């Protein structure tokens, strides 16, 4: 019976070994589980940009689309409320990247209009299918489209996670939008302190 014991120990090590972090987040610590921040996408001005636009800033990244009826505006509102509790210096060290997985409807101009509503720290991005596949695969998330109705509207499925990166672009945190505002604010602050 030594062998099953060994197997269990192996599982325990693998599960525990996913990364140590000096801070305790309210959300899930995913240090080391995924790759560093990296992307090539189109910004709100239609220019091709990479992760260098957020060099030296802590980043919260999430995927959505502007026609999203519930989740995306709720999450952006939650983030905006949490950011409002931070000091101006802390906010300056933080950027929110909203990546639209619906490039057909979300033009750079529409993204600009949408993200401005939630604050200057929110940056809208989108890209070609290849670019989006690349960044979604990197962060273990999928997206897909429902059928179009008579007016051409359609549903988009996308991940609900907010991914937190520290100032050097290392992945640290996975937050969900059912966290209370204070906890999100704590986690954002912890991200900027790393």
Closest approach, Cβ 139 to another protein, in A, equals 9
Cα 26 from Cα 90, distance rounded (Å): 18
Confirm or reject binding of residue 157 to another protein (CB under 8 A): yes
Cα distance between residue 57 and residue 120, in whole Å: 14
Site for another protein (CB under 8 A): which residue of 47, 129, 140, 168?
Answer: 140
Radius of gyration of the CA atoms of the chain, in A: 18
C-beta separation of 77 from 118 below 8 A: yes
| Tokens linked to 169 | 């672009």
Residues 6+ apart with CB under 8 A from 141: 63, 158, 159, 161
Q: Check binding of 170 to another protein (CB under 8 A).
A: no
Residue nearer to another protein on the CB measure, 56 or 144: 144
49-78 binders of another protein (CB under 8 A) = 63
- Residue 14 as a binder of another protein (CB under 8 A): the answer is yes
> Residue 50 phi/psi, 5° resolution?
-125, -175
Which CB atom, from 23 or from 34, has the smaller least distance to another protein?
34
Cβ 88 to another protein shortest distance, Å: 31
Smallest gap from residue 15 Cβ to another protein (A): 6
Q: Is 1 in the site for another protein (CB under 8 A)?
A: yes
| Closest CB 25 distance from another protein, rounded Å | 15
Return the SS3 of 174.
strand
Structural contact between residues 37 and 51, judged by C-beta atoms closer than 8 angstroms: yes
Q: Which residues would be at the binding site for another protein (CB under 8 A)?
A: 1-4, 7, 11, 14-15, 18, 30, 33-34, 63, 136-137, 140-146, 155-161, 174, 176
């Amino acid at each position: 019976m030594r062998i099953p014991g060994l197997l269990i120990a192996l599982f325990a090590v693998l599960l525990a070994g996913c990364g140590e972090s000096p801070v305790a987040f309210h959300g899930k610590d995913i240090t080391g589980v995924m790759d560093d921040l990296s992307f090539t996408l189109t910004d709100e001005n239609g220019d091709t940009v990479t992760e260098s636009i957020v060099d030296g800033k802590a980043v919260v990244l999430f995927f959505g689309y502007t026609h999203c009826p519930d989740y995306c505006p709720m999450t952006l509102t939650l983030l905006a409320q949490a950011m409002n509790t931070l000091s101006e210096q802390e906010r300056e060290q933080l950027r929110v990247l909203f990546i639209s997985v619906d490039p057909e409807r979300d033009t750079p101009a529409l993204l600009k209009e949408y993200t401005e509503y939630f604050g200057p720290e929110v940056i809208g991005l989108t890209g070609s299918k290849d670019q989006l596949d690349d960044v979604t695969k990197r962060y273990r998330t999928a997206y897909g489209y429902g059928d179009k109705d008579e007016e051409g509207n359609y549903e988009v499925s996308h991940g609900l996670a907010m991914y937190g990166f520290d100032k050097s672009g290392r992945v640290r945190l996975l937050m969900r939008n059912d966290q209370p505002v204070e906890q999100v604010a704590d986690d954002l602050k912890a991200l900027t302190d790393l």
